[in-house]
Amino acid sequence: MEINRDTGIKERLSKFKKSLPDHITLVAVSKNHPTELLLEAYNAGQRIFGENRAQEMSIKQKKLPKDIEWHFIGHLQKNKIRLIAPYVSVIQGVDSFELLEKIDSHAKKSNRVITCLLQIHIAQEASKFGFTFDDCREMLKKEEWRKLSNINFGGVMGMATFTDNMDQVLSEFRALTDFFNKVKKEFFPDQDSFKTISIGMSEDYTVAIKAGSNMIRIGSLVFGQRD
């Protein structure tokens, strides 16, 4: 694949990465962007990409180098799991036990372990997906998740309210960090792999980092505006 136009991704990406503290993992959110642009980011050193549609992600995965870590960041429909199970690294945004069971069974068929992040609903908007804090804790208390041997519980993920009020965003992110710390202590005390707090997008990642994020999901700031 040849790149014959200067999109400036390389410069944007390296400048952006340099501005981040070392403990922050950058997921480059490439949804709606053509494969050529992902390859450009890949050639600039980026290895972790986030997509929110199973089909789109699978098409890109087939075309691009195999050492890319694919993160599914959207709402995953149960009938799409089999499409991505053979290669996906992390499914961010798991918000029910039923979904975990289905992912586990497809992961088994592919002989893989898939990392899942528990998506928690922290925003005020009613439309976004995710467990409530209470529902997530209830699910973990039931202990059945411990039988899901092909799932690696990697941490939590959340999206703040879409607002200019950064105090509100900060307090929502902080609530999720607190929840992570409690859940870690209670249910995953010996699992180093339960470590990820995936919060922060282009508009609010600095606030997220302040609140304890260690994984940010950045789209427009790296790739420019989406169509």
Ligand X SMILES: *Cc1c(COP(=O)(O)O)cnc(C)c1O
Could you list the residues that contact ligand X (CB under 6 A)?
A: 29, 31, 52, 73-74, 159, 201-203, 217-221
Closer to ligand X by Cβ: residue 48 or 148? 48
**Burial class (CB within 10 angstroms; exposed 0-12, middle 13-18, buried 19+) of 117:** buried
Closer to ligand X by Cβ: residue 129 or 187? 129
In the complex, the smallest distance separating the C-beta of residue 106 from ligand X, rounded to whole angstroms, is 21
In the complex, the smallest distance separating the C-beta of residue 33 from ligand X, rounded to whole angstroms, is 10
Closer to ligand X by Cβ: residue 64 or 221? 221
In the complex, the smallest distance separating the C-beta of residue 215 from ligand X, rounded to whole angstroms, is 10
In the complex, the smallest distance separating the C-beta of residue 108 from ligand X, rounded to whole angstroms, is 27
Q: In this structure, what token pair is assigned to residue 115?
A: 């990392």
In the complex, the smallest distance separating the C-beta of residue 201 from ligand X, rounded to whole angstroms, is 4
Closer to ligand X by Cβ: residue 101 or 203? 203
Closer to ligand X by Cβ: residue 74 or 140? 74
Amino acid at residue number 55: Q
**Exposure string over 204-213, b if 16+ CB within 10 A, otherwise e:** bbebbbebeb
**Residue, CB closest to ligand X:** 219
In the complex, the smallest distance separating the C-beta of residue 216 from ligand X, rounded to whole angstroms, is 8
Closer to ligand X by Cβ: residue 61 or 119? 119
